[in-house]
A and B are shown apart, each in its own frame.
Chain A
Amino acid sequence: MKTFRWSIPLALFIILLAFLWVGLGRDPREVPSPLIGKPAPAFRLAKLHAPGETLSNADLKGKVWLLNVWASWCVSCRVEHPLLVELAKSNIVPVYGLDYKDDPEAGRGWLTKNGDPYTASIVDRDGRVGIDYGVYGVPESFLIDKSGVIRYKQIGPITPEALQEKILPLVRELQR
């Protein structure tokens, strides 16, 4: 009974400590998306490099693809951009760009300067498609499977760790 008496507050304290510890390590800006496991919201938008042509998510049914939300005004997009260029060169998974709330002219210029990793980029001038995808902080990336379901969302720049440990293994699994 004696040991039991102090072990309860101690256990409660340890539980509290565990919660606080986990809380410290989490980024409050990363809000889990309710879209994971759900079909990617439908869009049909003009292509950045061919304004006369459109691209729809339905056109990409049957393949695994990465949707990267970017903009020429987005500073942290520069951080992940070399990684995307590398990824595009490896031909593992096609990357499609969503030029979010951007001037198409500026967007094209930015890609010329920094390299264009995108199989195609589409223009979301007023950010409506961004809202459908729950975008709140550019860059964001969505991994979409063959049946058009969102399987993973990266909020903020893709880090080398996230690419190696999460995205690429998942791509391999989904491509099977």
Chain B
Amino acid sequence: MTRLFAAVALALIAALALAGKMDPPAQTGAQLDARLKKLETELRCLVCQNQTLADSNADLADDLRREVRALAVAGKSDDEIRSYLVARYGDFVLYDPPVKPLTWLLWFGPFTLLIGGAAVWWMVLQRRSKMTPKSEPTAEAQSRGRALLDEEND
């Protein structure tokens, strides 16, 4: 189980690392626009909180978009832009929070719950399949049961 957990964690970290590396550092034209658009959808607007920087009309979002563009034009990579914002506003600006001890519960909590739930389910199934009736009911008990059922049906 620990091994499975570690494998899942590693896969996640690898996926994240890959996602971070694939951004081409475009600095001009339509490519830059596309790059900024993508970057801005990964960033949170601090004022409206549930909107991305790309979607928000807030004044601060405007300023931050301008700032992000200026940094991109100055040749900063997406990671550098992200860490510029994280240094000022914290991990909360990222819609994709980093894996670190503080966010372990966030990242691994759901999987832990799923695995825990599956384990409990498995245990219950095991116990149920082992359960056997202690002994056949006696003839007397059976006829009494039948009588009760008949009474009910009348």
How many A residues, CB 8 Å from partner? 18
Residues A131 and B90 in contact, CB atoms below 8 Å apart: no
A94 to B63, CA, bound (A): 30
Cβ of A31 under 8 Å from chain B:
yes
A34 contacts which of B46, B47, B86 (Cβ < 8 Å)? B86
Residues B59 and A131 in contact, CB atoms below 8 Å apart: no
- Per DSSP, chain B at the interface is helix
Please list the residues of chain B having a beta carbon within 8 angstroms of any beta carbon in chain A: 46-47, 49, 59-60, 63-64, 67, 86-92
Closest to A31 in B: B92
A60 to chain B, nearest CB (A): 20
Residues A33 and B90 in contact, CB atoms below 8 Å apart: yes
**B89 proximity list for chain A (CB < 8 A):** 31, 33-34, 134, 136
A33 to B85, CA, bound (A): 12
Cβ of A110 under 8 Å from chain B:
no
A134 to B89, CA, bound (A): 5
List 14 interface pairs A-B (beta carbons < 8 Å), by A numbering. A28-B49, A31-B89, A31-B92, A34-B87, A34-B88, A34-B89, A34-B91, A101-B59, A133-B88, A134-B88, A134-B89, A136-B46, A136-B89, A137-B46
**A134 proximity list for chain B (CB < 8 A):** 88-90
Residues B59 and A31 in contact, CB atoms below 8 Å apart: no
A137 to B86, CA, bound (A): 17
CB within 8 Å: A-B pair count: 37
A127 to B60, CA, bound (A): 9
Please list the residues of chain A having a beta carbon within 8 angstroms of any beta carbon in chain B: 28-29, 31-35, 101, 126-128, 130-134, 136-137
**A35 proximity list for chain B (CB < 8 A):** 88
B68 to chain A, nearest CB (A): 11
A33 to B91, CA, bound (A): 10
Considering residues A32, A34, A133, A137, which has the most beta carbons from chain B within 10 angstroms of its beta carbon?
A34
Taking A33-B89, A35-B88, A131-B63 as given, write out 15 further A-B residue pairs in contact, using a Cβ cutoff of 8 Å, ordered by the A residue number: A31-B89, A31-B92, A32-B90, A33-B90, A34-B86, A34-B88, A101-B59, A127-B60, A127-B63, A131-B88, A132-B88, A134-B88, A134-B90, A136-B46, A137-B46
Closest to B62 in A: A127
Residues A31 and B90 in contact, CB atoms below 8 Å apart: yes
A26 to chain B, nearest CB (A): 13
Given known contacts A131-B67, A136-B47, A137-B47, is B59 in contact with A34 (CB within 8 Å)? Answer: no
A32 to B93, CA, bound (A): 11
**B63 proximity list for chain A (CB < 8 A):** 126-127, 130-131
A29 to B64, CA, bound (A): 18
A134 to B64, CA, bound (A): 11
Residues B90 and A136 in contact, CB atoms below 8 Å apart: no
